[in-house]
Amino acid sequence: MFKPIQKLVANRKLKEYQKLVQEINKLEAHYENYSDEALRELTHKWKQQLQLNETTIDQIKIHAFAVVREASKRVLGMRHYDVQLIGGLGLLDGNISEMPTGEGKTLVSSLPSYTRALEGKGVHVITVNEYLAKRDAGQIGKIHTFLGLSVGLNVPDLPLEAKQSAYNADITYGIGTEFGFDYLRDHMASTALEQVQRPYHFAIIDEIDSILVDEAKTPLIIAGKKSAQSHLYLICARFIRTLQKKSDYLFDEESKSVALTEDGITKVERAFSIDNLYDLEHSTLFHYIHNALRAEVLFERDVDYIVHEGEIQLIDLYTGRVMEGRSLSDGLHQAIEAKEGLTSTEENHTVASVTIQNYFRLYPILSGMTGTGKTEEKEFLKVYNMEVIQIPTNRPILRQDREDIIFEKTEQKLAAVLEDVKTRHSKGQPILLGTTSILQSEIIADLLTKEKLSFQLLNAKYVEKEAEMIAQAGQKGMITISTNMAGRGTDILLGEGVAELGGLHVIGTERHDSERIDLQLRGRAGRQGDPGSSQFYLSLEDELFIRYNPEGLEKLKKQLKYDETGRVHSAKIHEFVTTTQRLCEGNQYSAREWSLKLDGVGNEQRRVIYQLRDNLLHHGIELDWIIKQIEDTTKKVLDTYFPEDSIREDWQMLDGKSTLERLIPPLHICEDAMEDREDIVEVVFEAMKVYFELLRGLNEEQLEQLLDSIQVIAVSIIDNHWTEHLDRLHQLNEGIHLRQYQQEDPIRLYEFEGFRLFEQTFGQIQREILSNVSDFFQYIVTPKEEEEHAIID
């Protein structure tokens, strides 16, 4: 039911946009007569009108689009096609415009980014890497600056002033992760002057599926350092290698989690001479063992990470790029270092984190572009409320996508790949060989080297010349081997005479675990009506089948027949490939959904903490706020230590007395005089009344000194407790995975326990801030004044 309805809605929107394009086209001749200065004047006029609510985006959008098209013609010599105008209208409304490779998505973004920037609230244009951010800011930014808008570039390691300048620009280009990290850093800033971001308004995400789907499983984490026992990492790494899968530990493919079996636990206890691994006193050992197991089972060298100059560098599995500056937290990074025999770095612990999904949901209007969004349409609508609109191509796609050729053995597959490469290379046709990992790309490279075929190799180990390699990939006689890096962001232009040879030929050496990535690889050929072709070669030994559908594979093998080359000839095999890929995509979606549900708990808590922190930084502390906090906290303390309808024997007198007396300096509770709860309440509220009068009686200088000091102290208290809370949530998260095996609902348990932990944390924050108010109050009042204060007994 979902797909027919969505198709109907999308078609209706397309028709609506096509009518608007006709209106924009009618304005072309009109704005051709405007001088450069007159076009800039329109920017100023529209900005002013929008600020004064004299017009709306809907009323000016066809004019704004026509002006951008005219500016592009003058500045870049590029005129927007009608389909690019349609794509831009889709983005303006907060949708995803699906446009194949080569349709000029970068130019499309100039239309809505200019139009929304007129609102004066800032526009963020987000790319998958720094090279593309700089390229687009430099190229498309010329249109914006020509029309009188300011353009900023947000990349890692900028000085504070440069960051603030980038965010204060009308349009800011940058990498998605950097925007997210800036959000976290802003909420670690000591003063408002150290913050860089403005309130969120409108974002355009290029290659939106790469950022919101592929990167969504890995949260953004800012980590602090804490001491680690490096020798214990090494011992645990060596021990883990002695364990056997299934008998000693279980690996859950769907949740990407590992857990020791009873036999495995027994082996740990025997090896480390302990009685019970799950005793509290052995929690540190359990943490190290668990990380060593995850490092050994979940992370593969030259697939998930590389070792470069003695350091572990993480690989983005979907782009094939090194994730610069990213490391794993809570000791997992150090566990991988121990696995590889490297010197252990300082252990990280989380001080701030957010998932990609929850960061981008902060934007009131979110939009994006991709060549492959339709496969994830349901998720985009559910998580971000964005529809995917398939934009017609400017020219028909001529690329020939051939049916997969599948072999029994890997060596048979590689032999067929090599034969295809040699045949096409002999006539000069350029070839792009796509692989799923660095390891696979280097196997192919060795194969070609033995055949004395020259090639260029593009993977995370050789990223420096990426743009140059991609630019050369369409030249006559060129062979390029690449991980997913070649699938995004840069067009491969055909060299002279290549079209006559059939254009670029793309060879996939293995199916990816998502159909989208396969489509991206195919899409490198056949841009803008160019000829081209694609062919995938698979084997039954490919990781996709062995890892995600081993039982189905074994069952299928019994029904298959092979020719003398080992090639499989059966319609069933193609169904099996599709089914397995769907299984894998389902697992990945479940992992993202799980991550989003778990972070939903932390997200609401983060919102409360960050809002409190922002209020303190931007508005300071007022005396009325302190008084309200004292009232609320005092009532909570009374309810905790002296519950209603309780008798004296049920009271926690010592703890309750000390807590209340810390909060309210004039208070002294005489235990013997307190017969029932009403006695305590009366004494406490009388003392609180006196305390409030004393606070309000402070002179201007004393009050300013108190409020300014408490503002600084309060921010520090919040940060310390929030960091500790994140650690507790992480430990709870690890325990929740174990609850899955006990047939309990882990999400419901996590929500319940997470809320309970947050109540404790927030209460501790309140009490510590107010204790500091009490201490500082007593510090600033003079001894003479203290003598005059009545102490209530």
Quick check: 489 pLDDT over 70? no
- Cα–Cα distance, 221 to 359 (Å, whole number): 12
pLDDT digits (tens, 9 = 90+) for 562-617: 999 999 988 899 999 999 999 999 888 888 888 888 888 889 999 999 999 999 99
Helix (H) or strand (E) holding 99, with range, is none
| Structure tokens belonging to residue 186 | 């802003």
Quick check: 187 pLDDT over 90? yes
- Cα–Cα distance, 484 to 772 (Å, whole number): 54
Please give the average per-residue pLDDT across 415-426, as a whole number. Answer: 96
Residue 520: what pLDDT?
A: 87
CA atoms lying within 13 Å on the CB side of residue 425: 20
- Cα–Cα distance, 43 to 36 (Å, whole number): 11
Identify the three-state secondary structure at position 390: strand
Please give the average per-residue pLDDT across 745-766, as a whole number. Answer: 91
Is there a contact between 51 and 89 (Cβ–Cβ < 8 Å)?
no
Q: Which residue has the tokens 């080359």?
A: 565
Q: Which residue has the higher pLDDT, 757 or 784?
A: 757
User: Any idea which of 66-80, 144-158, 513-527 has the lowest mean pLDDT?
Assistant: 513-527
Please give the average per-residue pLDDT across 269-289, as a whole number. Answer: 82
Is there a contact between 495 and 503 (Cβ–Cβ < 8 Å)?
no
For residue 388, which phi and psi values (nearest 5 degrees)?
A: -100, 120
pLDDT digits (tens, 9 = 90+) for 709-732: 999 999 999 999 999 899 888 888
- Rounded to a whole number of angstroms, the distance between the first and last alpha carbons of the chain is 73
Q: What is the helix, strand, coil percentage profile of the chain, to 5?
A: 60, 15, 30
Residue 488: what pLDDT?
A: 59
| Structure tokens belonging to residue 10 | 């999308």
| Structure tokens belonging to residue 616 | 């303190």
Please give the average per-residue pLDDT across 351-364, as a whole number. Answer: 92
Is there a contact between 346 and 226 (Cβ–Cβ < 8 Å)?
yes
Quick check: 330 pLDDT over 50? yes
Helix (H) or strand (E) holding 481, with range, is strand 479-482
Please give the average per-residue pLDDT across 409-424, as a whole number. Answer: 96
The set of long-range contacts for 183-186, using a CB threshold of 8 Å and a minimum separation of 24, is 183/354, 183/359, 183/362, 184/220, 184/222, 184/352, 184/353, 184/354, 185/222, 185/352
- Cα–Cα distance, 451 to 225 (Å, whole number): 49
Alpha helices for 227-376 (secondary structure H): 230-240, 262-271, 283-298, 332-339, 356-360
- Cα–Cα distance, 571 to 403 (Å, whole number): 11
- Cα–Cα distance, 338 to 380 (Å, whole number): 39
| Structure tokens belonging to residue 173 | 């280009």
The gap from C-alpha 485 to its chain's centroid, in whole angstroms, comes to 18
Quick check: 401 pLDDT over 90? yes
Residue 775 neighbours by CB distance under 10 Å: 14
Q: Is the sign of the CA dihedral 307, 311, 316, 317 positive or negative?
A: positive
Angle between helices 130-146 and 105-117 (to 10 degrees): 50
Is there a contact between 723 and 698 (Cβ–Cβ < 8 Å)?
no
| Structure tokens belonging to residue 38 | 């007159």
- Cα–Cα distance, 599 to 353 (Å, whole number): 10
Q: Are strands 400-401 and 365-370 parallel, antiparallel or unpaired?
A: unpaired
User: Any idea which of 9-18, 84-93, 553-562 has the lowest mean pLDDT?
Assistant: 9-18
Angle between helices 571-619 and 550-557 (to 10 degrees): 170
DSSP label at residue 792: B
| Structure tokens belonging to residue 564 | 């003398």
- Cα–Cα distance, 697 to 708 (Å, whole number): 17
- Cα–Cα distance, 650 to 775 (Å, whole number): 30
Q: Which of 288, 386, 408 is nearest to 344 (CA)?
A: 288
Is there a contact between 162 and 326 (Cβ–Cβ < 8 Å)?
no
Residue 2: what pLDDT?
A: 46
Is there a contact between 401 and 26 (Cβ–Cβ < 8 Å)?
no
Q: Which of 164, 215, 515 is nearest to 373 (CA)?
A: 515
What number of H helices and E strands is found in the chain? Answer: 29, 20
CA atoms lying within 13 Å on the CB side of residue 579: 13
Q: Residue positions in the annotated binding site for ATP?
A: 84, 102-106, 491
Q: Residue positions in the annotated binding site?
A: 84, 102-106, 491
For residue 406, which phi and psi values (nearest 5 degrees)?
A: -120, 135
Please give the average per-residue pLDDT across 235-242, as a whole number. Answer: 91
Residue 792: what pLDDT?
A: 43
Residue 581: what pLDDT?
A: 94
- Cα–Cα distance, 737 to 743 (Å, whole number): 11
> What residue ranges define each of the domains in the chain, with the CATH number in brackets?
2-218+358-390 (3.40.50.300), 226-345 (3.90.1440.10), 400-581 (3.40.50.300), 620-788 (1.10.3060.10)
Helix (H) or strand (E) holding 207, with range, is none
Bridge partners of 705, per DSSP, are none
- Cα–Cα distance, 482 to 739 (Å, whole number): 41
User: What pTM value is reported for the model?
Assistant: 0.82
Q: Which residue has the higher pLDDT, 374 or 93?
A: 93
Q: Which residue has the higher pLDDT, 476 or 673?
A: 476
Residue 677 neighbours by CB distance under 10 Å: 18
CA distance to 368, 596, 600, 635, 692, per residue, from 379 (Å): 14, 12, 16, 45, 53
Residue 570: what pLDDT?
A: 87
Confidence class for position 651, pLDDT limits 50, 70, 90:
confident
Instruction: Quote the longest CA-to-CA distance of the chain.
Output: 104
| Side chain identity, residue 162 | A
Is there a contact between 487 and 321 (Cβ–Cβ < 8 Å)?
no
